[in-house]
């Protein structure tokens, strides 16, 4: 018989053998941040995506070998880099690889795409990496497009089925056009070799960006020079492509804005109803302002012709980022020169009907001395946003700051923002993702070493404090994974109104199934971001009487709700 002392000793020995959780690493001082990569050579163009578990995956272009390659790092919710000291190589092919962009694979990993110069011109390649840091596809990536002429500036979104849709600008016959390709979760291109043409109109089409359409396809928007051939005449167009690679709207896209003067650099967010909201900066009045337009899933422009003005203040405004607000509208942030002496950061929310909801010409997030540049934002899970930017208030070196704004347009943190990094040297090129608890993880390129740019990160909590041993719960409660009962029940007619909540912006799907298990309607909803959402499922359908099942999935999480439809 074991004595009590012997029992305690055995238990203690067993406990010592168990794996111990990594200690928290997020610093609480802006002078100290988490290094994701400090390898020799330059690291630049960082982009970030949620890992679906309170952490993030970051990718960047990396010159440690003498030419630019693609690397990635996984940082846990506690701030611990998980893939070695300086990240995992996704592509080390000859030549330069640059401008990576990233999307969740829906399983804790990510899919990355980039510009690739391994041959004699730029092509488009992609790679998938698991949550454990294991490359999943062909060594050095899967070729998305290697057609003649340069292929550049790819952007990426989830296809809702473990794969991705990639759009880019391809140079054929002297002009850039817009192309897209879908890649499965196994790394197989799904559409026409070298991609489907979304726009081949006269003049250049440039800077495409896209979102999932909720049905396995995507909505893409771009800058379009078909009316004049240069930036003086650039307009904004959009196109939807189906899950099978078929353009859905007018050939060469639907015009969102063809006003006088150039319109440039559109950014896009889902509207929660299968359509999109697009913002851009617009020179119709002689200096750049901020305009927006909504387009339905059927390709119909929803707001005032040529867009709704979100900011027409004096001086130049240049938009850089947009997110859905969870209620059918969107929040956008921009750099703003209305003061006439330096750039500041402003923000505006627009409703689903096209009405600006906050202070005329936007809410000031930062008007500190010195320039503030290129804001990026993420949903805070409560209808508002967290915005981050590089900031020159300290003198000659950029630092990183952030501010939270509520759904009602009220700033929540210290005036002019919370400092995330004030380390020596330049910090710039910020990108941001939700931490799943009302806060955010921000990453940037960083020259505190005084030699080369590296990649660093910091977490800011929902209350504006840095760090945190564990992912904290915001004051208004945890961000849950939830699906509310569909109401009314029984329902009549067409689309069902579904209310649900997501803890992160990782890929998620909402499906409507009939009693036999047949899929009647499906939407990719992870792109709506963390927080509570309401949308119409089955819009445009006349549902037959019977019993239906609504299913919400995100990673390993699943919730279902039954609803009866009557005549």
CB-based burial label for 25 (10 Å; 0-12, 13-18, 19+): middle
Helical residues (DSSP H) of 241-366, grouped into ranges: none
Number of CB atoms found within 10 A of residue 20's CB: 7
CB 401 within 8 A of CB 388: yes
What is the predicted pLDDT for the residue at 530? 75
What is the predicted pLDDT for the residue at 229? 64
Query: Distance between CA 209 and CA 47 in Å, rounded?
Result: 14
Query: Distance between CA 511 and CA 519 in Å, rounded?
Result: 7
What is the predicted pLDDT for the residue at 518? 84
pTM of this structure: 0.85
Q: Is the dihedral of CA 501, 322, 351, 294 positive or negative?
A: negative
DSSP for 216-274?
S-EEEEEEE-TTTSSGGG-EEEEEEE-TTS-B-SSTT-EEEE--SS-EEEEEEEE-SSS
What is the predicted pLDDT for the residue at 426? 96
What is the predicted pLDDT for the residue at 428? 96
424, containing H or E segment: none
First to last CA, the chain: 73
What is the predicted pLDDT for the residue at 504? 76
What is the predicted pLDDT for the residue at 187? 98
| 3-state DSSP assignment of residue 11 | helix
Beta bridge partners of 49: 57
| 3-state DSSP assignment of residue 4 | helix
Query: Distance between CA 381 and CA 400 in Å, rounded?
Result: 22
Q: Are strands 496-502 and 482-483 parallel, antiparallel or unpaired?
A: antiparallel
Query: Distance between CA 47 and CA 513 in Å, rounded?
Result: 36
Q: What is the dihedral of CA 92, 96, 99, 101, to 10 degrees?
A: -20
For the chain, list the domains and their CATH numbers. Answer: 26-146+445-460 (2.120.10.10), 148-258 (no CATH), 269-290+298-422 (no CATH), 482-566 (2.60.40.3080)
Token couple for 497: 């109104």
Nearest to 210 by CA among 126, 290, 276: 276
175, containing H or E segment: strand 175-183
Query: Distance between CA 411 and CA 466 in Å, rounded?
Result: 17
CB 133 within 8 A of CB 83: yes
* pLDDT (tens place) for every residue of the chain, 567 residues total: 334 444 333 333 333 333 333 445 899 999 999 999 999 999 999 999 999 989 999 999 999 999 999 999 999 999 999 999 999 999 999 999 999 999 999 999 999 999 999 999 999 999 999 999 999 999 999 999 999 999 999 999 999 999 999 999 999 778 999 999 999 999 999 999 999 999 999 999 999 999 999 899 999 999 999 988 666 789 999 999 999 999 999 999 999 999 999 999 999 999 988 999 999 999 999 999 999 999 999 999 999 999 999 999 999 999 779 999 999 999 999 999 999 999 999 999 999 999 999 999 999 999 999 999 999 999 999 999 999 999 999 888 999 999 999 999 999 999 999 999 999 999 999 999 999 889 999 999 999 999 999 999 999 999 999 997 544 434 444 467 888 888 778 887 777 888 888 887 777 888 888 877 788 888 888 877 777 787 778 766 788 888 888 889 887 788 888 888 887
């Amino acid at each position: 018989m074991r004595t009590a002392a012997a029992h305690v000793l055995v238990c203690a020995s067993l406990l010592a053998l168990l794996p111990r959780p990594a200690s928290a690493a997020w610093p609480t001082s802006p002078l100290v941040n988490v290094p994701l990569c400090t390898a020799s050579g330059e690291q630049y163009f960082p982009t970030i995506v949620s890992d679906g578990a309170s952490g993030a995956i970051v990718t960047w272009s990396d010159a440690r070998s003498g030419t630019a390659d693609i690397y990635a790092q996984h940082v846990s919710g506690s701030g611990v880099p998980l893939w070695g000291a300086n990240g995992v190589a996704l592509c080390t092919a000859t030549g330069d690889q640059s401008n990576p962009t990233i999307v969740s694979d829906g399983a804790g990993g990510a899919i990355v795409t980039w510009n690739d110069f391994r041959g004699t011109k730029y092509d488009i390649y992609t790679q998938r990496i698991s949550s454990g840091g294991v490359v999943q596809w062909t060594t050095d990536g899967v070729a998305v497009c290697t057609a003649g002429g340069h292929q550049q500036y790819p952007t990426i979104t989830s296809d809702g089925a473990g794969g991705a849709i990639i759009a880019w600008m391809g140079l054929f016959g002297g002009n850039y056009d817009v192309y897209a390709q879908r890649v499965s979760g196994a790394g197989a291109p799904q559409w026409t070799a070298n991609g489907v043409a979304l726009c081949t109109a006269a003049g250049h089409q440039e800077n495409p960006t896209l979102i999932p359409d909720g049905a396995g396809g995507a909505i893409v928007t771009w800058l379009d020079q078909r009316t004049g051939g240069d930036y003086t005449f650039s307009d904004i167009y959009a196109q939807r492509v189906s899950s099978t690679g078929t353009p859905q709207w007018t050939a060469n896209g639907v015009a969102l804005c063809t006003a006088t003067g150039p319109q440039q650099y559109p950014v896009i967010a889902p509207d929660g109803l299968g359509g999109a909201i697009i913002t851009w900066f617009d020179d119709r009045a002689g200096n750049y302002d901020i305009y927006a337009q909504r387009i339905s899933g059927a390709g119909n422009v929803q707001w005032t012709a040529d867009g709704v003005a979100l900011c027409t203040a004096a001086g130049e405004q240049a938009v850089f980022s947009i997110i859905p607000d969870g209620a059918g509208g969107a929040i956008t942030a921009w750099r703003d020169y209305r003061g006439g002496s330096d750039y500041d950061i402003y923000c505006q929310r627009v409703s689903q009907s096209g009405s600006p909801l906050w202070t005329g010409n936007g809410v000031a997030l930062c008007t500190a001395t010195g320039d503030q540049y290129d804001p990026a934002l993420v949903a805070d899970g409560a209808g508002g946003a967290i915005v981050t930017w590089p900031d020159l208030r300290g003198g000659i070196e950029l630092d990183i700051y952030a501010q939270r704004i509520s759904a009602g347009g009220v700033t929540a943190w210290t005036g002019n923002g919370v400092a995330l990094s004030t380390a020596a040297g330049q910090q710039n090129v910020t990108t941001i993702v939700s931490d799943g608890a009302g806060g955010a993880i921000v990453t940037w390129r960083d020259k505190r070493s005084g030699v080369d740019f590296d990649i660093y990160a910091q977490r800011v909590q929902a209350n504006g404090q840095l760090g945190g041993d564990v992912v904290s719960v915001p004051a208004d409660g945890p961000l849950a994974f939830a699906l509310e009962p569909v109401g009314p029940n029984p329902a009549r007619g067409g689309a069902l109104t579904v209310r649900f909540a997501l803890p992160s912006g990782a890929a998620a799907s909402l499906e409507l199934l009939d009693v036999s298990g047949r899929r009647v309607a499906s939407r990719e909803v992870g792109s709506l971001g963390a927080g509570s959402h309401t949308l119409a499922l089955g819009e445009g359908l006349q549902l037959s009487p019977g019993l239906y099942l609504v299913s919400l999935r995100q990673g390993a999480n699943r919730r279902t709700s039954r609803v009866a439809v009557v005549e």
